[in-house]
A and B are shown apart, each in its own frame.
Chain A
Amino acid sequence: MTSRDPSPRPRPLPAPVWPALGILTLIVFNALSDTLAPSGPGLLGPGAFLHVAVVDGAPAGALIDILHYGGAIAILALGMAPVIATRGVDLSVGAVMAIAAAAAARLSIAGTPGVPALAGALAVAGACGLWNGVLVVTLRLQPFVATLVLMVAGRGLAQMLTGGQILTFHDPLLEYLDQGRPGWLPMPMPFLLGAALLVLTCLATRRAPLGLLIESVGSNPEAARLSGVRAGPLVVGCYVWCAACAGLAGLIAGAGIKAADPFNTGRNAELAAIFAVVVGGTSLLGGRFSLAGAFVGGMLMQGLTTTMYARDIRSDVAPLPQALLILTICAAGAPRARALARRLAGRPRGTA
């Protein structure tokens, strides 16, 4: 988002621009395909992808689907971005999603009312983050390895919680996390939750020194230490925050199917989250991070999936076009690729 780069090099575009362009590309591609191939497979007729109907007083359509299902990925990415900014990574978010959903289902089936069940599940997720953070900070394990432990073991834990079954639950509050459409703004609840978290995290990291501290720990830990930044609690906090976000995403995923599926909930979610953060302009080398970029990146990941459904692309080939688009966006955002493009264009101007 903000650039504190004092160098005379051209000021880069704000991070969310690239994934936003990616989403726009997808929308244009879908709209064109609808128009050009009215007899082809998929959503037929001009404007089918863009069409937004009103069902039960709430908008519905392919675009709304992107906001709906992108919400959970965006929440994961908002949690992941600060962790990556501290030169870390959290591979366990998918497993934590499954654990949180399983914990909520167990609590709900045991008769716990909505609010405590929700709080309990988020607390369990937070505890997972504490475990990761302690491994990273106290034992100085590589974040990759430390969180891999929970990525592998976590799914077993989730299965233990559900007894190796898919647990179905009925709880109005939990279901509201996914199905909810508030009257004052009838948009999908996961999207609203993601947007609220985005505003919250932006305020916390940009209006207060928290963001600066995280970036300082990530860009130069030694300098940060010498300037009196206590990195330990800060890093642990980032992992707890990331896991809590994963817990919320897991509750949304569970609410979507009214069940806790310990086998599939959050499978490969860590990859989607890392992708979302990276296309959103955050470097895996630590330091600067972009929350808005991560949020839009999450929406882009879902935009790709929804496009695959809309265009009837077989799911065994779908990863290829998805990967190509992500690669293009990453390359477009890379300074070296942009410098090359400028040289080719023969104009040493700053922003494109």
Chain B
Amino acid sequence: MRRVIGYLLAATLLGLASCERPAAPSSTPAPTAGSPVKPTPAPSAAKLVVGFSQIGAESAWRSANTASIKDEAARRGVDLKFSDAQGDQENQVRAIRSFIQQRVDAIAFAPKTEDGWQAVLEEAHKAGIPVILTDRLVKVDNPDLYTTFIGSDFVEEGRRAAEWLAKATSGNAVIAELQGTPGSAPAIDRKKGFEAEIAKHPGMSIIKSQSGNFERAKGKEVCEAFLRSPEGPKLTALYAHNDDMALGAIQAIESAGRRPGRDILIVSIDGVRDAFQAMLDGTLNCSVECNPLLGPQLFDTIERVKRGEKVPKHIQTEEGVYDQSRVTAEVVKARRY
């Protein structure tokens, strides 16, 4: 028994520590007059050197985020030092320290968790290197430790989803909710924003809520359990914290003999291409965009900071709310993630 536990413990730990590497090779070929990536001290002093620490490659959203940053760096001829932390905060801290040592012009990173950044950000601050957070916030006791945060407002996303649903149902809906991974910031905030908005409509209530872990397969399995329950027949709407769970739920609703998008309205968040396809097919009603293509905004901001301009503390990513009326085959084809 001890050995069993040992094995399982070790496997869990290793599973947590290890992570996937992205498909793309780490080099970013410079398309213009450029020596390729090797961090040779650039003779042209004008060339911007940016260190970016990515969490890992845990989802399609993250892959699109990475691709956007690398592509934009290549397009602008920025010397990007990209580090993949393989899902480990330790690796991120290490990468940021090495960026400081290399005296990069700016550091950007997508923090894995909120806590534990104080020390390393103080070092960056002391070295006078601006730090830009992407996608998620950190908790530090001095807000000057980072220059700005570029990302979505998860609470706002949840609120917009509820707003759309309230409008589509004239404020009357019996809702099942598929939550994201327990304890994650997007799951907490998307729930919070949605609940705050539907509280304004007495005819709207969430009667079922369970985590589908942001996964398609879990979304389907949990939605099946919702539909099996005695309250199942009463459901008129489904709110999923991401598109993948909604796409799984659509299949569960279909196999239960009800029409997704008509008998049960479905609204979700992210705006991935498959969700747009589902809207075109009429099975998904609305997707609130959560844009991973931060590259252009990130390098715009870095350039502004380098010119000495003042930038706001929170830069909202450019995002829309899409429903079936706005989706055509061309829109689906143009989606890049």
Contacts and interface: CB of A to CB of B under 8 A. Distances in A.
Contacts of B216: 166, 257, 259, 261, 264
A315 B7 contact: no
Contacts of A29: none
Counting chain B residues whose Cβ lies within 8 A of the other chain, the interface size class is 35 or more
Contact of A43 (B228, B255, B256): B228
Given A165-B63, A330-B4, A159 B20 contact: yes
A62 B18 contact: no
A270 B24 CA distance: 27
Contact of A156 (B21, B218, B224, B277): B21
Contact of B57 (A159, A179, A310, A331): A159
A267 B230 CA distance: 31
A199 to B, nearest CB: 27
B213 A315 contact: yes
A9 interface: no
A177 interface: no
Query: B58, B228, B231, B248 — which one has the most chain A CB atoms within 10 A of its CB?
Result: B228
Interface in A132-179: 144, 148, 151-152, 155-156, 159-160, 163-166, 168, 179
Given A56-B257, A274-B8, A268 B15 contact: yes
Interface string A258-271: 11010111011011
B170 to A, nearest CB: 28
B213 to A, nearest CB: 7
B230 A164 contact: no
B331 interface: no
B301 interface: no
Query: B208, B214, B217, B221 — which one has the most chain A CB atoms within 10 A of its CB?
Result: B217
Contact of B20 (A56, A156, A305, A310): A156
Contacts of A297: none
A274 B7 contact: yes
Given A44-B229, A160-B23, A284-B4, A263 B59 contact: yes
Contact of B7 (A144, A253, A310): A144
Nearest to A268: B15
A65 B59 contact: no
A301 B151 CA distance: 39
A309 B183 CA distance: 18
A155 B24 CA distance: 14
Interface string A42-54: 1111001000000
A3 to B, nearest CB: 20
Contacts of A152: 14, 18-20
Contacts of B257: 55-56
Contacts of A309: 210, 221-222, 225
Contacts of B214: 264
Contact of A164 (B63, B210, B217): B63
B211 to A, nearest CB: 4
Nearest to A164: B63
Contacts of B59: 263
B42 interface: no
B152 to A, nearest CB: 20
Nearest to B216: A257
B244 interface: yes
Contacts of A151: 14-15, 18
A62 B229 CA distance: 9
A334 interface: yes
Nearest to B218: A264
A268 B59 CA distance: 16
B11 A261 contact: no
Given A144-B7, A274-B7, A285-B3, A265 B217 contact: yes
B46 interface: no
Counting chain A residues whose Cβ lies within 8 A of the other chain, the interface size class is 35 or more
A144 B255 CA distance: 40
A165 B224 CA distance: 25
A314 B67 CA distance: 35
A275 B57 CA distance: 28
B4 to A, nearest CB: 6
A133 B164 CA distance: 54
B242 to A, nearest CB: 11
A253 B244 contact: no
A163 B336 CA distance: 12
A222 interface: no
Contacts of B222: 309
Nearest to B256: A55
B60 A164 contact: yes
A256 interface: yes
Contacts of B230: 43-45, 48
B211 A261 contact: no
A249 to B, nearest CB: 12
Interface string B39-52: 00000000000000
Contacts of A261: 215-217, 244
Contacts of A310: 225, 229
A263 B23 contact: no
A268 B277 CA distance: 30
A103 B105 CA distance: 42
Nearest to A306: B225
B329 interface: no
Nearest to A94: B15
B334 interface: no
Interface in B104-121: none
A295 interface: no
Interface string B1-12: 101100110111
- Top 9 nearest A-B pairs (CB, nearest first) are A164-B63, A316-B182, A309-B225, A315-B211, A152-B18, A264-B215, A257-B216, A155-B20, A160-B23
24 contacts: A55-B257, A65-B228, A69-B221, A155-B20, A156-B22, A156-B23, A159-B20, A164-B64, A165-B60, A256-B217, A256-B251, A257-B247, A263-B20, A263-B58, A264-B215, A267-B215, A271-B8, A274-B7, A274-B11, A278-B4, A309-B221, A309-B225, A310-B229, A315-B182
Given A156-B57, A179-B255, A312-B208, 16 more contacts: A44-B230, A62-B225, A152-B14, A159-B22, A164-B67, A166-B272, A256-B217, A259-B274, A261-B244, A264-B215, A264-B216, A264-B217, A274-B7, A274-B8, A284-B4, A315-B182
